[in-house]
């Protein structure tokens, strides 16, 4: 909207300037006719044909000034007319996201191309004189400027096919961000750190691209939870479903899903799969669900598991000793457990520092 406002303001100033110039012309029309002598001042003269069919042509100062005026007006119109089209016409049409930007971009290219051709025609340059130059440029584009030409064609493909649009959130390789600008050579992507990354248009056509919001903004969030062996699996299912149903960011359709995935080395592994409405809800939903699941597990006696390890020591004579952790009150290492502590007579007890069995 800010860009459209700037274009509309510049266009309004241009219209006022043209009106002021026309008013001056009406007032000073008689004096301005003396500038007609510029038509007789030739900068370059040439001729085509032989004998009676010889046709002479001349380039006057008036032609040069006219060509410059056309070129300047072309640039002004290319910068400002798309904004006027956006406000007056496109805003009243029901267009898909990004379609208006594609139309205004193509209009800018068309205005520049038409103005360039008109300026050359004013200077007396015909297509028959340009065809060899165009052919030479075609060869040059095919060899020396192939990357630039490929990016230009890719930019047109992006505008017509619209695999990415302004405002889309995309993932390209290791980069994830929002498309903020599509130009004739490159596209600007703003990542979540508000850095602007300039990416050649060819990359969007040739590389694998993930568009998170091309046709549907709904996305899935997968959260993993590991609980201790011996936990009530039915209760874990119910608590995970409860956390998902209580969260306002989680959609009811598609509905949340809970799966008991596998038996881990020290844990029972569960997955909670939910769908959120937009990519921006993924992190918030993850944070809220994890906090709520932790509260529900604590209230119902479900332990979040951690890795556990049993260590056996083997002597050279084949005798084995098992390393076990004991309560924090005992901070010694002994060959035999204290009376009443239980365990095998051959166990080695190591005093723990954390009150749990995490050191096994």
- The answer to the question of residue 131 being in a domain is no
**Lowest pLDDT segment from 2-6, 77-81, 133-137, 323-327:** 323-327
User: 118 and 97, same structural domain?
Assistant: yes
- The answer to the question of residue 150 being in a domain is no
* CA neighbor of 283 nearest in space, from 196, 334, 223, 194: 223
CATH number at 171 reads: 2.30.30.60
Specify the DSSP class assigned to residue 40. G
- The answer to the question of residue 287 being in a domain is yes
- The answer to the question of residue 233 being in a domain is yes
Q: What is the pLDDT of residues 48-80, one digit of tens each?
A: 544 444 344 566 677 777 888 888 888 877 777
Tokens 């030409």 -> residue? 149
Which pair of structure tokens corresponds to residue 117?
A: 């051709």
Q: What is the pLDDT of residues 82-135, one digit of tens each?
A: 666 766 666 666 666 556 666 777 778 788 878 887 887 777 766 666 666 667
User: 86 and 10, same structural domain?
Assistant: yes
Q: How many domains does the chain have?
A: 4
User: 280 and 262, same structural domain?
Assistant: yes
What mean pLDDT comes out for the span 191-200?
91
What mean pLDDT comes out for the span 228-249?
93
- The answer to the question of residue 357 being in a domain is no
User: 119 and 12, same structural domain?
Assistant: yes
- The answer to the question of residue 155 being in a domain is no
Which pair of structure tokens corresponds to residue 304?
A: 């979040």
Q: How confident is the model at residue 288 (pLDDT cuts 50, 70, 90)?
A: very high
Q: SS3 sequence, 266-322?
A: CCEEEEEEEEECCCCHHHHHHHHHHHHHHHHHHHCCCCECCCCCCEEEECCCCCEEE
**pLDDT of the residue at 314:** 75
- The answer to the question of residue 138 being in a domain is no
pTM here is 0.52
* CA neighbor of 211 nearest in space, from 161, 256, 249, 254: 161
Q: Which domain holds residue 242?
A: 219-299
User: 15 and 115, same structural domain?
Assistant: yes
- The answer to the question of residue 156 being in a domain is no
Give the DSSP H/E element, type plus range, for residue 259.
strand 257-263
């Amino acid at each position: 909207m800010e860009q459209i406002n700037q274009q509309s303001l510049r266009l309004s100033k241009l219209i006022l300037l043209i009106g002021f110039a026309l008013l001056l012309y009406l007032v000073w029309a008689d004096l301005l006719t003396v500038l007609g002598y510029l038509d007789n001042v030739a900068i370059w003269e040439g001729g085509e044909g032989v004998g009676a069919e010889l046709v002479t042509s001349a380039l006057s100062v008036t032609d040069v000034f006219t060509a410059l005026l056309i070129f300047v007006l072309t640039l002004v119109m290319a910068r400002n007319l798309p904004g006027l089209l956006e406000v007056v016409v496109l805003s009243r049409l029901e267009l898909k996201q990004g379609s208006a930007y594609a139309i205004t971009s193509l209009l800018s290219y068309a205005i520049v191309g038409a103005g360039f051709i008109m300026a050359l025609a004013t200077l007396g340059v015909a297509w028959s004189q340009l065809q060899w130059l165009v052919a030479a440029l075609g060869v040059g584009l095919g060899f020396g400027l192939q990357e630039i030409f490929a990016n230009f064609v890719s930019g047109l493909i992006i505008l017509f096919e619209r695999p990415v649009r302004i405002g889309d959130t995309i993932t390209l390789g290791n980069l994830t961000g929002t498309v903020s600008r599509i130009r004739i050579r490159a596209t600007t992507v703003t990542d979540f750190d508000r850095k602007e990354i300039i990416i050649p248009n060819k990359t969007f056509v040739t590389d694998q691209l993930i568009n998170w919001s091309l046709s549907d903004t709904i996305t899935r969030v997968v959260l993993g939870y590991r609980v201790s062996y011996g936990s009530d699996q039915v209760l874990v299912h119910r608590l995970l479903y409860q956390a998902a149903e209580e969260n306002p960011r989680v959609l009811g359709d598609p509905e949340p899903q809970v799966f008991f995935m596998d038996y881990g080395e020290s844990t029972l592994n569960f997955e909670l799969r939910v769908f959120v409405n937009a990519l921006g809800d993924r992190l918030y939903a993850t944070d809220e669900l994890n906090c709520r699941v932790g509260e529900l597990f604590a209230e119902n006696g479900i332990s979040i598991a951690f890795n556990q390890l049993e260590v056996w020591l083997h002597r050279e004579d084949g005798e084995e000793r098992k390393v076990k952790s004991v309560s924090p009150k005992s901070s010694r290492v002994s060959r035999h457990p204290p009376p009443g502590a239980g365990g095998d007579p051959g166990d080695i007890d190591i005093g723990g520092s954390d009150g749990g069995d995490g050191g096994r």
